[in-house]
Amino acid sequence: MIRLLLLVIGYGFGCIQTSFIYGKKQGLDIREHGSGNAGTTNALRVMGRRAGVIVFIGDMGKMILALLFTGLVFRYLGDDHRLLIRLWTAVGVVLGHDFPFYMNFKGGKGIASTGGLMFFLDWRMTIFSFVTFFGLTLLTKLVSLASCIMVTGDLILFTVLILTGRINPGIMPIGEGILLMTFIVVLSLIRHKDNIARLLKGEEKPITL
């Protein structure tokens, strides 16, 4: 029951669509411009650098707020529930971001929100995620490439850390934790399937920073 509740709460936070809200304030629907994706990269391309930064911070921030909220509400369960609370909330946030009900389930790809999760899992994952994402973005100007490599690396690193006891699973079975992280990463890769196809063909368009 608590897993379902965490999922629902996370979904609610995830439905706070920063790019859609910001776009509406500028008099446009982000889904009708550029790639049609309601995420940071499309906001950057369509509305400029300032919009890209705001959307990135907003999408990351809603994950952080969701995890702080459920961590506070369910703190009575004790530290042994910490990872369970964080991962199930995170899955909900990503689902809400990718498939917001009021936008006909047409949202973003969950990269910035996933980055927010890293703050709560392990300092090594935080460093890896941000160095990988921003480093590759600056070097290649290909956000999709940086995103896919980041989340894939996150899954590998998380698996290593939880199997070696550096991330405490608490009451959560290790397999459940790995499965939830796998779900987040695989969903992100699926959402990037068109980008991956263009990357393989050498046709993916770089961004202008």
Is 141 within a domain? yes
This prediction's pTM: 0.93
Is 50 within a domain? yes
Confidence of residue 209 (pLDDT cuts 50, 70, 90): low
Is 209 within a domain? no
Is 113 within a domain? yes
Q: Which of 13-17, 26-30, 105-109 has the lowest mean pLDDT?
A: 26-30
Give residue 25's domain range.
Answer: 2-201
Is 108 within a domain? yes
Whole-Å CA distances, 139 to 39, 48, 134: 21, 20, 8
Please state the rounded mean pLDDT for residues 28-54: 80
Q: Are 159 and 124 in contact (CB under 8 A)?
A: no
What are the pLDDT digits (tens) for 132-184? 999 999 999 999 999 999 999 999 999 999 999 999 999 999 999 999 999 99
Location of structure tokens 């979904």: 11
Is 190 within a domain? yes
The per-residue pLDDT of the chain, averaged, comes to: 91
Is 206 within a domain? no
Q: Which of 30-39, 59-68, 118-127 has the lowest mean pLDDT?
A: 30-39
Tell me how far apart the alpha carbons of residues 76 and 64 are, in angstroms, rounded to a whole number.
Answer: 20
Q: What is the predicted pLDDT for the residue at 40?
A: 81
b/e code 45-70 from CB counts within 10 Å (16+ = b)? bbbeeebbebbbebbbbbbbebbeeb
The number of distinct structural domains making up the chain is: 1
Angle at 38 between CA 60 and CA 44, to 5 degrees: 75
